[in-house]
């Protein structure tokens, strides 16, 4: 790896030749990050922190910030901005901030601490993350992420996060997701929970101190723009149904990812796109919406009733061997009766150098290929068996059942509980599932969207992971944004205060509120025949089939038509019972599904335009002779930032070229 | 399997509730308990009856959002969360009673949904370590012996579900409280505020109307994260020490 300092441009700006999505979009002006830093890469963030304007502590009490979301990004930001003395209002739809979806993360969090003296450094974490993202992230953002990563661990330890420790009392860490250094800090299989509790407790401390006001069971349903600036939100109190106006000097969306557009995913049931999508409809750009991460090790679907999928930590791939029967006839057999010679350890066969530890997108796609060939295992759902074996027999022979129990006990228990099978006796079955989205609202280096005063943090923004996210890097990004980046960039915006005073009677505020009210009464008055859930399921099937692991021009066009039909029938055939003035979960769901349908269409258009295979996104039309993903940097090394084109118009594509100055782009090879 | 469900329905906090009976059929073994309720809700919606409100989010046993009394037991017959309870724990023809958490400090919001805001307020009263962002020392400058770290971790696994309160005849939240006190109290970082923390948190607990602990042990039996009863002894010990120190 060449160590370059970031002062010379290494690639040419891309020129797109293909135009598959012609007719579905209009081309807008190129987009440039107006605050992108220059100069030696290692100094960029330090210089920027210094250059950003300061806000006098006495003035901070007069400045207000709304934060939507209490996950790692939103919780950490609320705690930090509250400590600094700003007036913060924090919103989440769960009954407590501590239940944000971040709580479910299992594996760990990366940080360039180099505690093992195995050659890790800020630069190496930066390099791995950019390469892992298939060169579709912004290098300045990623470098900053790597740079602050070490502080995250310090911060969390100080808060009492009980990370795993070695006998000497020092922090332990492990290697994760195919990375060759040990830089992943973890708290058994519950790293997300422990990190979130740390941020939550820090935030609750500020609630007690009066700097943070907490609104639980509240859902943001609209953003308020005045003179082009974000100045507040309209929220619904989910218990009383009251529609509320909240005004502030700036708004932060830390509302998480939209993987639930696929209906089945590893995300929590409530995860949704509404906060981002409402902002998108008011002018915020949605970047790279089609970039979805598919996780290879989830428990397969067992039937029609399935409401969500459960992830099994990727760490299992360190000891489990993945295989399917060589012969389709064997698929119904008890796996223990299939002799070694009749098993196809396909990852070890195709990728001898990396074997079972190939990156997530490759492991996922090959599992799908095996099942599509008719060699999947487990129960048939529809016409297919969608599962492959993850076998611990060798590892149990090597380490003993106790050895395995010590390492993976809670995961094995979880598997047994969900499937009713004992994984110590028979191989686990796994299948890929939607897990995370790399797309999200477009932000500049300051995490500000193209709407002044609207900041976006965590999974809700797009900037750091490129086309594929490496394991243990989402938690790092959420906390980096919340604890260290946003507090330093938002102050530069707030330094413009005082902002014009507005009150609830401002016509733009009234209009936003009226929109929300009329939307809710529409949902309740359509009085059709189908539940919001049934539309969601149908959307999910379309998305998974045509915009999931493998996409083709033909399939995507078909999907767009299907989604348009679905949208029409949603607005005429939806049935939501109950009223708007109490807790009404069907009504909540209807609003979220309506937004998912529109997002789904944009995801397909984005995927159609991007005629290259990149990260977790495999375009059938773009592969090498031996079927591997083929990227086209000369055409697509850009961020696709989409502008809302109106209800009857076409989305407008703004391209932000990705220029590398510190890392040279290379094609991936895991063979 | 076919099941008869007796479910508590209550339109809102101020209206009286009552048990209603529903039939569900074609329930398979590998559905989770909440998926079984999804099936019922889809049927109700079709019939024009308002679906039953219940809480859940992660459906993975980690967020603590779900929680029902099933046949009188918090989270049902197994030591797990409601979302991780599967229908293979039941048999064809069973009659299942489903109610919300019962505790004065967890008022019912609607049907099976309760308000556990009191838990957040207990944390606000002192359930944290004061460490401002940016002022943390290098993480390895304070080693933590492995056994202490393990114990701290085990207590930090509490998911704040409230089953302990729902199971306790006194409606006490002592297990929840003890888990937090022990999580933070085992760590060197947690020492400076140790006395104040326990005093404030216990004060808030009582103020919220949770009952006192009389060592019945129903809490730990219902806890999906197997928080042991000895955290309550730790709680009492810490409280006595704090008193001795003049708090
Ligand atoms: C099962 C699983 C395991 C994972 N494991 C790992 C791992 O090991 N390592 C890793 O790095 N990453 C992991 N990830 C990814 C990582 O957990 C997430 O990307 C990350 O936690 C997202 O954090 P966030 O703060 O951006 O959003 P979230 O934690 O999703 O929080 C979103 C918040 O926004 C609120 N919200 C959303 N919309 C609204 C609205 N309209 N109004 C009001 N509030 C709203 C929600 O209430 C919530 O508080 C995992 C993900 C899953 C699903
Ligand atoms: S102690 Fe156990 S039962 Fe009580 S809230 Fe915590 S996890 Fe739930
Ligand atoms: S839904 Fe999260 S613990 Fe049950």
Q: What is the mean pLDDT of residues B168-194?
A: 98
Tokens of A183: 């830089």
**A187 at B interface, C-beta within 8 A:** yes
Q: Which of B65, B121, B100 is nearest to A217 (CA)?
A: B65
List chain B residues with CB under 8 Å of A101: 57-58, 63
Give yes or no for residue A668 having a pLDDT over 80: no
Q: Which of A425, A482, A569 is nearest to A109 (CA)?
A: A482
Ligand 1 centroid distance, CA of A459 (Å): 7
In this prediction, residue A1 has a pLDDT band, given cuts at 50, 70 and 90, of low
Give the per-residue pLDDT at A177: 67
Instruction: Answer yes or no: do A99 and B129 touch at CB < 8 A.
Output: no
Instruction: Answer yes or no: do B125 and A208 touch at CB < 8 A.
Output: yes
Q: Which of A292-296, A367-371, A379-383, B170-174 shows the highest mean pLDDT?
A: B170-174
Instruction: Answer yes or no: do A151 and B80 touch at CB < 8 A.
Output: no
Give just the sign of the alpha carbon dihedral B221, B225, B229, B235: negative
**A166 at B interface, C-beta within 8 A:** yes
Give the per-residue pLDDT at A358: 86
φ, ψ of residue A41 in degrees (nearest 5): -60, -35
Lowest mean pLDDT among A143-152, A356-365, A492-501, B80-89: A356-365
Give yes or no for residue A266 having a pLDDT over 90: yes
Taking each helix axis from N to C end, the angle separating B194-207 and B230-244, rounded to the nearest 10 degrees, works out to 110
Which of B29, B42, B44, B60 to mutate to probe the A interface, most A CBs <10 Å?
A: B60
Give the per-residue pLDDT at B153: 95
Give the per-residue pLDDT at A623: 94
| Ligand with minimal distance to A98 CA | 1
Q: Give A207-240 pLDDT, tens digit per residue.
A: 999 999 999 999 999 999 999 999 999 999 999 9
- Smallest CA–CA distance, residue A98 to chain B, in Å, is 8
Among chain A residues, CA nearest to B37:
A305
In this prediction, residue A503 has a pLDDT band, given cuts at 50, 70 and 90, of very high
| Burial class of residue A117 (count of CB atoms within 10 Å of its CB; 0-12, 13-18, 19+) | exposed
Q: What is the mean pLDDT of residues A202-207?
A: 98
Q: Which of A552, A555, A539, A649 is nearest to A599 (CA)?
A: A539
DSSP label at A501? P
Q: What is the mean pLDDT of residues A123-150?
A: 96
Nearest to A190 among B31, B136, B157 (CB): B157
Ligand 3 centroid distance, CA of A24 (Å): 41
- Smallest CA–CA distance, residue A496 to chain B, in Å, is 24
pTM of the predicted model as reported, rounded to 2 decimal places? 0.97
Give the per-residue pLDDT at A61: 94
Q: What is the mean pLDDT of residues A184-198?
A: 94
Average pLDDT of every residue of chain A: 95
- Smallest CA–CA distance, residue B45 to chain A, in Å, is 7
CB A160 within 8 A of CB A198: yes
Instruction: Answer yes or no: do A159 and B128 touch at CB < 8 A.
Output: yes
**A46 at B interface, C-beta within 8 A:** no
Q: Is the CB of B235 under 6 A from ligand 3?
A: no
Among chain A residues, CA nearest to B152:
A162
CB A415 within 8 A of CB A313: no
Give the percent of chain B with pLDDT over 70: 100
Interface of A with B in 517-546 (CB under 8 A): 529, 531, 533-534
Predicted ipTM of the assembly: 0.98
Q: Which of B20, B24, B22 is nearest to B3 (CA)?
A: B24
In this prediction, residue A3 has a pLDDT band, given cuts at 50, 70 and 90, of low
Taking each helix axis from N to C end, the angle separating A532-547 and A553-573, rounded to the nearest 10 degrees, works out to 170
Q: What is the mean pLDDT of residues A563-575?
A: 98
Nearest to B133 among A80, A162, A208 (CB): A80
Q: Is the CB of A263 under 6 A from ligand 1?
A: no
Lowest mean pLDDT among A71-75, A311-315, B17-21: A311-315
Q: Give A615-651 pLDDT, tens digit per residue.
A: 888 999 999 998 889 999 999 999 999 999 999 999 9
Smallest CA separation from ligand 1 atom 38, residue: A255
Rounded distance between C-alpha atoms, residue B137 and residue A428, angstroms: 43
Instruction: Answer yes or no: do A79 and B133 touch at CB < 8 A.
Output: yes
Q: What is the mean pLDDT of residues B98-114?
A: 97
Q: What is the mean pLDDT of residues A471-492?
A: 97
Alpha helix (H) residue ranges in A3-135: 44-51, 57-60, 72-84, 122-132
Tokens of A608: 């159609």
| Contacts with A292 (C-beta within 8 Å, 6 or more apart), sequence order | A259, A262, A434, A436, A437, A438, A439, A547, A548, A603, A616, A617
Give the per-residue pLDDT at B130: 98
DSSP label at A135? T
Which of B127, B131, B135 to mutate to probe the A interface, most A CBs <10 Å?
A: B131
Assign A95 to helix, strand or coil: coil
CB A203 within 8 A of CB B129: no
Could you list the beta-strand ranges (E) of A121-211.
184-185
List chain B residues with CB under 8 Å of A201: 123, 127-129
Smallest CA separation from ligand 2 atom 7, residue: B158
Give the per-residue pLDDT at A257: 98
Q: Give A286-334 pLDDT, tens digit per residue.
A: 999 999 999 999 999 988 899 999 999 888 888 999 999 999 999 999 9
- Smallest CA–CA distance, residue B160 to chain A, in Å, is 9
């Amino acid at each position: 790896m060449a160590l370059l300092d970031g002062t010379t441009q290494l690639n040419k700006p891309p020129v797109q030749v293909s135009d598959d999505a012609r007719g579905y979009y209009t081309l807008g002006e190129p987009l440039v990050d107006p605050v992108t830093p220059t100069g030696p890469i290692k100094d960029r963030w330090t210089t920027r922190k210094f250059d950003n304007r300061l806000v006098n502590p006495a003035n901070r009490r007069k400045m207000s910030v709304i934060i939507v979301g209490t996950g790692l990004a939103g919780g950490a930001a609320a705690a930090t901005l509250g400590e600094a003395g700003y007036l913060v209002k924090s919103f989440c739809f769960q009954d407590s901030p501590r239940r944000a979806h971040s709580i479910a993360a299992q594996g760990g969090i990366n940080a360039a601490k180099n505690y093992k003296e195995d050659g890790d450094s800020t630069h190496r974490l930066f390099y791995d993350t950019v390469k892992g993202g298939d060169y579709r992230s912004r290098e300045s953002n990623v470098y900053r992420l790597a740079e602050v990563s070490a502080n995250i661990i310090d911060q969390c330890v100080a808060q009492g996060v009980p990370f795993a420790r070695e006998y000497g009392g020092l922090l332990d860490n492990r290697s994760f997701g195919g990375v060759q250094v040990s830089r992943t800090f973890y708290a058994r299989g519950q790293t997300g929970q422990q990190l979130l509790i740390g941020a939550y407790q820090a935030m609750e401390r500020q609630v007690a101190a009066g700097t943070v006001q907490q609104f639980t069971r509240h859902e943001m349903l609209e953003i308020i723009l005045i003179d082009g600036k974000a100045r507040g939100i309209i929220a619904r109190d989910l218990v009383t149904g009251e529609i509320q106006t909240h005004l502030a000097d700036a708004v932060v969306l830390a509302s998480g990812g939209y993987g639930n557009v696929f209906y089945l995913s590893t995300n929590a049931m409530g995860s949704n796109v509404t906060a981002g999508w409402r902002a998108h409809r008011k002018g915020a750009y949605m970047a790279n919406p089609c970039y979805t991460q598919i996780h290879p090790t989830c428990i397969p679907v067992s039937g029609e009733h399935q409401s969500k999928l459960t992830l099994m930590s990727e760490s299992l791939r360190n000891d489990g061997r993945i295989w399917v029967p060589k012969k389709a006839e064997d698929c119904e057999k008890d796996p223990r009766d299939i002799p070694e010679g009749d098993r196809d350890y396909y990852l070890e066969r195709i990728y001898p150098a990396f074997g079972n530890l190939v990156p997530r997108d490759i492991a996922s796609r090959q599992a799908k290929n095996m099942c599509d060939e008719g060699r999947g295992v487990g129960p048939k759902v529809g016409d297919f068996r969608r599962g492959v074996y993850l076998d611990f027999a060798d590892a149990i022979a090597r380490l003993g059942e106790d050895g395995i129990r010590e390492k993976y006990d809670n995961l094995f228990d979880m598997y047994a509980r969900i499937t009713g099978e004992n994984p110590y006796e028979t191989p686990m079955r796994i299948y890929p599932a939607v897990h995370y989205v790399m797309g999200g609202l477009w932000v500049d280096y300051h995490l500000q969207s193209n709407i002044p005063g609207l900041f976006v943090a965590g999974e809700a923004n797009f900037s750091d992971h490129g086309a594929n996210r490496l394991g243990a890097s989402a938690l790092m990004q959420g906390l980096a944004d919340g604890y260290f980046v946003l507090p330093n960039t938002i102050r530069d915006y707030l330094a413009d205060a005082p902002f014009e005073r507005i009150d609830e009677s401002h016509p733009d505020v009234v209009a936003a509120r009226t929109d929300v009210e009329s939307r809710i009464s529409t949902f309740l008055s359509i009085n059709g025949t189908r539940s919001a859930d049934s539309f969601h399921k149908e959307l999910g099937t379309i998305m998974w089939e045509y915009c999931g692991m493998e996409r083709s021009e033909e399939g995507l066009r078909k999907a767009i038509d299907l989604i348009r039909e679905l949208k029409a029938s949603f607005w005429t055939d939806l049935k939501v019972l109950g009223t708007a003035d109490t807790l009404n979960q069907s009504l909540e769901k209807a609003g979220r599904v309506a937004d998912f349908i529109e997002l789904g269409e944009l995801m397909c258009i984005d995927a159609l335009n991007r005629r290259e295979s990149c990260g977790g996104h495999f375009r059938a039309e773009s592969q090498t002779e031996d079927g591997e993903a083929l990227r086209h940097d000369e055409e697509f090394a850009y961020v696709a930032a989409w502008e809302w084109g109106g209800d009857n118009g076409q989305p407008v594509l703004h391209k932000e070229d990705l220029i590398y100055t510190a890392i040279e782009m290379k094609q991936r090879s895991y063979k | 399997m076919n099941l008869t469900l007796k479910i508590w329905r209550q339109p809102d906090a101020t209206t009286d509730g009552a048990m209603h009976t529903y039939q569900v059929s074609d329930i398979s073994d590998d559905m989770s308990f909440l998926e079984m309720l999804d099936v019922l809700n889809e049927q109700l919606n079709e019939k024009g009856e308002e679906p039953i409100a219940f809480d859940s989010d992660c459906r993975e046993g980690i967020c603590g959002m779900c929680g029902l009394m099933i046949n009188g037991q918090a989270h049902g017959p197994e030591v797990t969360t409601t979302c991780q309870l599967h229908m293979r724990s039941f048999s064809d023809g069973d009659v299942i009673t489903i109610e919300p958490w019962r505790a004065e400090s967890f008022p019912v919001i609607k049907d099976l949904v309760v308000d556990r805001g009191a838990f957040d307020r207990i944390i606000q009263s002192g359930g944290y370590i004061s460490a401002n962002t940016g002022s943390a020392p290098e993480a390895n400058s304070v080693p933590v012996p492995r056994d202490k770290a393990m114990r701290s971790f085990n207590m930090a696994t509490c998911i704040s579900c409230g089953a302990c309160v729902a199971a306790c005849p006194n409606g006490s939240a002592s297990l929840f409280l003890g888990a937090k006190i022990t999580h933070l109290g085992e760590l060197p970082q947690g020492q400076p505020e140790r006395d104040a923390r326990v005093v404030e948190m216990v004060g808030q607990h009582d103020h919220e109307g949770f009952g006192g602990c009389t060592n019945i042990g129903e809490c730990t039996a219902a806890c999906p994260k197997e928080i042991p009863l000895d955290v309550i002894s730790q709680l009492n010990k810490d409280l006595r020490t704090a008193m001795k120190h003049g708090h």
